[in-house]
Structure 1
């Protein structure tokens, strides 16, 4: 059985970097050999949960600006899987979760950064899924619960987002991590490890520096989906924690 994993995807330039986090992600990919990957990405928002339905090779989406030119020609030639997408849709809709098919969207960097570092050969079929910010945190958690069986089917569920994600606070020259960013993450990790769902559901009011850490929830939504999709009998584990540029979090949690 394969666990569910939340991964902070960082910036697109991470695919070219060599640091403790990229080393960790490469090792993480060698830990699991799934027959398919379902990835919820913070960089795809829709009012109805959208699922990529395609068997061909994804086009690349370069949803960023100001980075080195090499990134705009970077390729990750992953293919989709209509079979896995159909199974995912059936599970979601059987639990009353409305979905829609998307037959044309490419892979955004929330997906291809993580996937390239974990599975550089791009030989595992990928189904990309959007996030719906109009849903409550409780509803996000229920989305995850509805697909718990995927782990038993050797499908790796990845939530690609971030814990601290405030681009206005990034300092490209910073050598130290801001205390408030670490305090927010410490609170979040503690509640996740304790399975304190009540506190997590109210994180915006309870967590220190919540509004500063997460001005919008799109990068944190995948975490709540992962929490739901993990096996209830297994305790969540913090697999990695580091930072870059003063506030950008590199955190990975296993469920």
Structure 2
């Protein structure tokens, strides 16, 4: 992993921040490995736009959004007061519009937990500016990959691009119960996660983009597309000739693969 890589991280459940796990320990150290970027651009599974649009957060002082319920009370007392970066947001909007997207700035939106929970572990001082870019559930995997390609040049300007979602994400199975924090993953989770890693490792962009349709138990691992779409953006943000590799492998609650990937042309 280099400072010029784009990343995909699996953020799992919000309790990642307060429950010990291999993923928590990994994320707590990865910021030191990367170093301090000029700013961070996060594509979160919990930030949606509609139509064919892209929304870019532009507040100078974004609030911490507690977009979850039923989790440990201490989570609701944690804030992530990182500054926004209106100038970077404007640059991102311009870049995306020139690339053929319909992008606009949103000064009213703060950081959802797909952004602030992992960033709290990676950069706990909250002193690096953060801007979020939305996913769009109405648009295709290829559209999201192209979105990443449009953002890729920002890596050379000291911007760390992070897609935050989940390598697997079946909440119905998660909420069924019976899966404790350290539960062993069922075969349908591990088989899909390893297949995805293999496709990423050989640079099979089309295969990765078609993972939910054609991968083993793709629909079971991703009944909805929200948590895999940030992966496609991160893959594109690595550049057209990027190679990807799995830089972390673990799971929480059995059904949530917490894998992380780095994408780089180097």
Greater mean deviation of Cα atoms: 41-50 or 191-200: 191-200
Structure 1 residues 13 and 204, CA gap change in structure 2 (3 angstroms): closer
Could you tell me which runs of 5 or more consecutive residues in structure 2 were left unpaired when the two chains were aligned.
none
Query: What is the distance in 1 between the residues matched to 2:160 and 2:209?
Result: 25
Q: Tell me the SS of whatever aligns to 2:259.
A: strand
Determine the structure 2 residue equivalent to 1:175.
183
Determine the structure 1 residue equivalent to 2:227.
219
Query: What is the distance in 1 between the residues matched to 2:12 and 2:209?
Result: 24
1:253 paired residue among 247, 257, 261:
261
Query: What is the distance in 2 between the residues matched to 1:195 and 1:220?
Result: 17
Determine the structure 1 residue equivalent to 2:4.
2
CA contact (8 A) 2:59 2:109 kept: no
Determine the structure 1 residue equivalent to 2:132.
128
TM-score, with length taken from structure 1: 0.96
RMSD of the alignment, in Å? 1.3
TM-score, with length taken from structure 2: 0.92
- Count, aligned residues: 254
Query: What is the distance in 2 between the residues matched to 1:202 and 1:3?
Result: 23
Determine the structure 1 residue equivalent to 2:37.
34
Determine the structure 1 residue equivalent to 2:218.
210
1:11 matched to 2:13? The reply is: yes
Determine the structure 2 residue equivalent to 1:107.
111
Name segments (4+ residues, structure 1) moved above 3 Å. Answer: 231-234
Determine the structure 2 residue equivalent to 1:160.
164
Q: Tell me the SS of whatever aligns to 1:183.
A: helix
Determine the structure 2 residue equivalent to 1:94.
98
Provide, for residues 199-242 of structure 1, a one-character-per-residue CA deviation record: whole Å limited to 9, x for no partner: 22322331011111000101100000011110344421110010
Query: What is the distance in 2 between the residues matched to 1:37 and 1:175?
Result: 33
Could you tell me which runs of 5 or more consecutive residues in structure 1 were left unpaired when the two chains were aligned.
none
The alpha-carbon deviation at position 152 of structure 1 amounts to 0.4
CA contact (8 A) 1:2 1:34 kept: no
